[in-house]
Chain A
Amino acid sequence: MALPVESTLSPTAGDAVAAAEMPRSVRRGGSIATISGIGFLVIAVAIPLLFKNFLVFQFTQMLVYAIAILGLNLLTGFNGQFSLGHSAFYALGAYTAAILMDQYSVSYIWTLPAAGIVCFVAGFLFGLPALRLEGVYLALATFALAVATPQILKLSPLEHWTGGVQGIVIIKPDAPPGVPLNQDQWLYYFTLAVGLVLYVAARNLVKSRSGRALMAIRDNPIAARSMGVNLALYKSLAFGTSALYTGIAGALGAIVVQFVAPDSFTIVLSIAFLVGLVVGGVGWLPGAIFGGAFVLFVPNIAEGVSKGLSGAVYGVILILLIYLMPTGAAGLVRAVLSRVSR
């Protein structure tokens, strides 16, 4: 598991000194990371065995959101490009999977790479003109994309494929023959497996030279450029990769929920991804799971507290969370670890 102490976040003076003192605390921190990683895996695998179908379904959704947030983190957390438009890529992935399964009888497994490729291309193409936009301007452009998506999905000329306002219904896949799991349990493990593969890939990307180039672009684009990093290429590739992740999440989401419709993919979803990103910790990959959990479960909790004021309760919880953990779960984990390894 990636360790916050290793500073995938922007360096500060404190971090620089902490890095210099790294050897012993990293070893201890490294073993804490391994232990928590194993612990997480054990719990994750046990979940379908411990909980009823509806909860397993919810946990699967949580994993789906976590994958989407992972994608957003790659773009915003590690490359510094702000996006409010990821609901569009999520929708694109979802509809790709739905159309392939519904109209072309493609097996659900193959819809994932298909969705990934389609979204990668879409993300890359969107990233190209977006190169000229920074900060708030990019936010507005991605916002426009997110707002346009449900409307485009409802357009009559496309109805033949998108199913218009009604959307498309998908048949839930069964576990492969010989595997003694029901549909919800199988989908959970399938999603978990896909998620783990994507997480490991993301971690390797972040630690590679390309990952460092991405972060260099985030921290100091002018310096990065003068060191020979091709800004245009990397930024567009970052967009594409991020869209790929979120697109695969969308495909998984469609399969799990068995249904796609335009109004499931509004700007509210994009905002939820952003909230999940911050709650988990910008620039910290494992945070995605905390973000996914928050985004899925907290709105329900808020509604449980007060039906009429559920939005207000959600808002208050969110503000309190930011007060306690301004840098999300990543900050909290970091604080705990630095106290432990002292």
Chain B
Amino acid sequence: MTTLLDVRGLVAGYGGIPALHGVDFSLEEGGVTTLLGANGAGKTTTLRALCGMIRARGEANFAGKRLIGMQTEDIVRLGIAHVPEGRGTFTRMSVEENLQLGAMSRRNGADIKQDIERVYEHFPRLRQRRMQQAGTLSGGEQQMLAIGRALMLRPRLMLLDEPSFGLAPLVVREMFDILAGLNRNEKVSMLLVEQNASLALSLADTAYLLETGRIVTSGPSAQIREDEGVRRSYLGY
């Protein structure tokens, strides 16, 4: 399997205060990797740095291209779709418009229409609400919309920032099943940032643990799941 994303020595922060102190990890094509850690560990910062939303130093190579220093709009065009913290929905626009926006960097109108239909197949509830203002959707539906919007890019890599946040357990289960399906069938690689470790480990094949801006442990998720010491000290269960 080829390495899709390779990160070495990533340093990034806010206003001169570094939140990441040299992070190394990689992601295989077709795989799901998860970044775990407590609040403030630097998970969201990592995703933001990869997308050019904050300034960063170090190496981040995506399919041979250097991400550090690129503009967000160009990184997106490489095929990286970011489902941000808080979903980032265009609340005043309709569901359909949100999906159309997801495909903004693409040209072929017919393909785009087809993809919108496919998103509705994955998320039938969104079809019901297609003309509704996105801000009036429930949390779970907005998360579906955010994932749907990311899919409209036909991404090679999807970055997901705490998709379970603020959602009821049943809704989260449903969403993770869909994500698993997307990874299996559409071959979308995923980098998943989560606080809910058990959930993330059930989806991912590889896990990295972040603590105050550094990777402290990594390995196949099965191994991390079994390791009592790691579970107790870092994952809280």
Contact = CB atoms under 8 A, between A and B. Distances in A.
Interface of A: 12-14, 17
B178 to A, nearest CB: 33
Nearest to B16: A14
A13 B17 CA distance: 8
Nearest to B17: A17
A17 B15 CA distance: 10
Most chain A CB within 10 A, of B14, B15, B16, is at B15
Contacts of A17: 17
A14 B16 CA distance: 7
A30 B56 CA distance: 35
Contacts of A12: 15
A189 B123 CA distance: 74
B74 to A, nearest CB: 26
Contacts of B14: 13-14
Interface of A (DSSP majority class) = helix
9 contacts: A12-B15, A13-B14, A13-B15, A13-B17, A14-B14, A14-B15, A14-B16, A14-B17, A17-B17
A13 B16 CA distance: 10
Nearest to A14: B15
Contacts of A14: 14-17
A13 B45 CA distance: 13
Nearest to A15: B15
Interface in B92-140: none
Nearest to B13: A13
B42 to A, nearest CB: 13
A17 B17 CA distance: 8
Contacts of A13: 14-15, 17
A7 B14 CA distance: 18
Contacts of B15: 12-14
B55 to A, nearest CB: 14
Nearest to B19: A13
Nearest to A17: B17
Interface in B1-25: 14-17
A106 B15 CA distance: 56
Contacts of B16: 14
A12 B15 CA distance: 9
Across the A-B interface, the 8 shortest Cβ-Cβ residue pairs: A14-B15, A13-B14, A13-B15, A17-B17, A14-B16, A12-B15, A13-B17, A14-B17
A95 B17 CA distance: 53
Interface string B186-206: 000000000000000000000
A166 B105 CA distance: 64
Interface string B169-213: 000000000000000000000000000000000000000000000
Nearest to A13: B14
A201 B157 CA distance: 58
A298 B16 CA distance: 35
B39 to A, nearest CB: 14
Contacts of B17: 13-14, 17
Nearest to B15: A14
Given A13-B14, A13-B17, A14-B14, 5 more contacts: A12-B15, A14-B15, A14-B16, A14-B17, A17-B17
A4 to B, nearest CB: 15
A13 B14 CA distance: 7
A14 B15 CA distance: 6
B112 to A, nearest CB: 36
B212 to A, nearest CB: 14
A13 B40 CA distance: 12
B17 to A, nearest CB: 5
B49 to A, nearest CB: 15
A13 B15 CA distance: 7
A17 to B, nearest CB: 5
B59 to A, nearest CB: 25
A237 B180 CA distance: 57
A12 B16 CA distance: 12
A15 to B, nearest CB: 9
A135 B16 CA distance: 31
Interface string B27-47: 000000000000000000000
A233 B75 CA distance: 49
A118 B110 CA distance: 68
A17 B18 CA distance: 11
A17 B40 CA distance: 14
A92 B161 CA distance: 55
B12 to A, nearest CB: 13
A331 to B, nearest CB: 14
B60 to A, nearest CB: 23
